[in-house]
Amino acid sequence: MKAKTLPVYNIEKFKPLCHEKDFYASTVSNHLKNNDFTSSPHKHNFFLVVLFTQGSGNHSVDFVNYDIKPGSIFMLSPGQIHSWTLTEDTDGYIFFHNKDFYELNFSSNKLQDYPFYCSVYNSPTLILKANDLQKSKSIFKEINLEYKQKQLIKFKRLFVLVELLYIDLLRLYLPQEQIDKQNQDYLIKLRKLEGLINDNYKTIKSPAKYAEMMFLGIKQLNRVCKECLNKSTSDIITDRIILEAKRLLIYSPFKIPEIAEQLGYTDISYFTRLFKKKNGITPAAFIKTYSALL
């Protein structure tokens, strides 16, 4: 039997430690103790960062499973489905914030400028080495302490600490020599394309239309996609549709024909063939496989 509609949590859901609507911080052990519903699959409408300092387990993010061990850090964007199974001794630090906390109040930068937030193709996790783990752990501890206190310009200091952590994670995630090799203009165009697809994939499936929306020729847009991801524009559109199909197939009450229609396909046979081409199994087989794991 399919699961009920997947819950989408906002920051105010996390009580009793959460007193604010824009930011939340805790240790992992206290977070789990006070919010036991987090072990079940769910989405957030905020950005989440969690560092595991002890224990082990498994973390599922958008149907990809990651091992958890000391030094594992995860950076999740709004809308991603995640759940975890953890050993009883698991601990670490966790914080989350909404987009306004970062972008409107304190900074002209965008969260999507960070590689772990800018693309669904980028991994949401890092494994920190000993020195990097200690450095990141100290920043997490400061964030957790500052969050609990009532000091002057508290949120200004929280932002500075979060920004410092993000810069450190950026350097670990994307070393300088790798940045130097990248075509920054192409990456900017790719981020714009992914944003347009995310907003329009249910109704617009034509690569040429996206090229037009970006004031580019289709050959130029395909060159951007090929250079950055070794994929065509059509591949990127289809990947976003298939990701949403997976989410709906497992975590919505809708039947396969209804899901196909929601995603813009009136021909159910075509939708089934497309899904099988990308995943190796039909939508019905996908439901059977993943529902058994819930």
Give this prediction's pTM: 0.86
Residues ≥6 apart with Cβ < 8 Å to 167? none
Q: What is the pLDDT of residue 111?
A: 86
Tens-place pLDDT, residues 205-234: 999 999 999 999 999 999 999 988 889 999
Kindly report, residue by residue over 5-32, the tens digit of the pLDDT.
788 898 888 865 555 678 999 999 999 9
What are the residues whose beta carbons fall under 8 Å from the beta carbon of 140, sequence distance 6 or more?
Answer: 51, 92, 93, 95, 165
CA distance 272 to 256: 9
Residues 64-123 have pLDDT tens digits of 999 999 999 999 999 999 999 999 999 999 999 998 888 876 566 788 888 899 888 889
Tell whether the model's pLDDT for residue 262 goes beyond 70.
Answer: yes
